[in-house]
Amino acid sequence: MKNLLKNNGICVDGLKRSLCVAPMMDWTDRHCRYFHRLLAPQALLFTEMVTAEAILHAGADRFCQHDAHEHPLVLQLGGAEPDRLADAVRAVEPFGFDEINLNVGCPSSRVQSGRFGACLMAEPELVSELVRVMRDQTDRPVTVKCRIGIDNMDPETGLDRFVDSVADAGVQVIYLHARKAWLNGLSPKENREIPPLDYGRAERLARRRPDLDIILNGGLTDRDMLIAVLQQSGQIFAGVMLGRAAYKTPYQLGLFHQLLSQKAALPDLLNIAQQMTDYAEQQMRAGVPLHAITRHMLGLCAGLKGARTFRRELGEQARMPGTDWTLIETALKACLRMNKNPDEKKVA
């Protein structure tokens, strides 16, 4: 298939961002990222958001440990005070993240009370100061993840003004969740579902600022839909970011990867289960409970016969005392035995 992305997904700073897995609090921890890496060997992975304050109070070590396999890996920070963010970037520098991203898209009230996240879209000058001081502390790319607007902000002029301002401060890559955040009255979950998606707005931004790389995020659920969206926009986006679909239907992540990296091979479920079994053994020996790993894998067999049993085993059986890592491979094999040709069913 003809390439669907601007410059094959290679961005102005040289980093490939064709496929990114979104930062998701409580979900994209290090075990989840290890699993996602197996499904999408070249994707750019994100940590959960960590606030600058958490890093400065509890120590970077607590939030920044990761496995070498997780690279390329982005640390997402939250914060609104230039000095604190600068200190946090300095503190995480030794951990070798490939990029530092600033969260300007999270609508939760906890985040708003700290005056950061999506509400910062109303303060483009402050955000440009934040990224300027962050860039002073690191040679890695500093990027921004934002929405197309908040509340009554005009999504045309408001977004242009915001993006121009952060671009003046040296940001070259924007991850754009293509819907507004409504800061009053909606829960974070509703804010990911109710404000309408507007891929056209993302496309207009990418056309107006071809010097920047825009990564499209929001509501991308399956491969056919992705192809349609990218064909319609005509190689204007440098990449796509997948959130809930990657987590809830991990096999889709593998399919996205196969499409965007133009690799012929489909994800091999058995091989992934075997590698996760080895990983679980190593982690359990270091004291990590099995379910802390398997909880991220519940959707792996979605669409196959036996998916519910697989889900239950990895969700419930994994919590039972005495259950060991072999559960992962055993449960997957049992599911595969119920399906003649798992790959065909998955693609259908």
Active site residues: 106
DSSP letter string over 81-115?
-HHHHHHHHHHHGGG--SEEEEEE----HHHHHTT
Could you say which of 40, 242, 298, 300 contacts ligand FMN (CB under 6 A)? 242
* Piece of the chain touching ligand FMN by CB under 6 A; list 129-137, 149-157, 239-247, 321-329: 239-247
Rounded Cα–Cα distance for residues 171 and 254 (Å): 29
Contact status: 49 vs ligand FMN (CB under 6 A)? yes
Q: Spell out where the chain has E strands.
A: 19-21, 44-51, 73-78, 99-104, 142-147, 173-177, 213-217, 239-242
- Cα dihedral sign, 296-75-37-234: positive
Contact status: 245 vs ligand FMN (CB under 6 A)? yes
Contact status: 76 vs ligand FMN (CB under 6 A)? yes
Binding-residue pattern over the window 4 to 23 for ligand FMN, x denoting contact by CB under 6 A: ------------------xx
Q: What residues from 256 to 275 belong to the interface with ligand FMN (CB under 6 A)?
A: none
CA 197 to chain centre: 18
Contact status: 220 vs ligand FMN (CB under 6 A)? yes
- Cα dihedral sign, 296-302-304-310: positive
Binding-residue pattern over the window 118 to 157 for ligand FMN, x denoting contact by CB under 6 A: ---------------------------x------------
* Closer by beta carbon to ligand FMN, 48 or else 99: 48
Contact status: 48 vs ligand FMN (CB under 6 A)? yes
* Closer by beta carbon to ligand FMN, 243 or else 250: 243
For the chain, the C-alpha Rg in angstroms (whole number) is 20
Total residues at interface with ligand FMN (CB under 6 A): 23
Contact status: 100 vs ligand FMN (CB under 6 A)? no
Rounded Cα–Cα distance for residues 183 and 192 (Å): 12
**282, two tokens:** 């190593």
Across the strands, what pairs with 286?
none
* Piece of the chain touching ligand FMN by CB under 6 A; list 99-107, 270-278, 295-303, 305-313: 99-107
Note the residues at the interface with ligand FMN (CB under 6 A).
22-27, 48-49, 76, 103, 105-106, 145, 177, 192, 217-220, 242-245
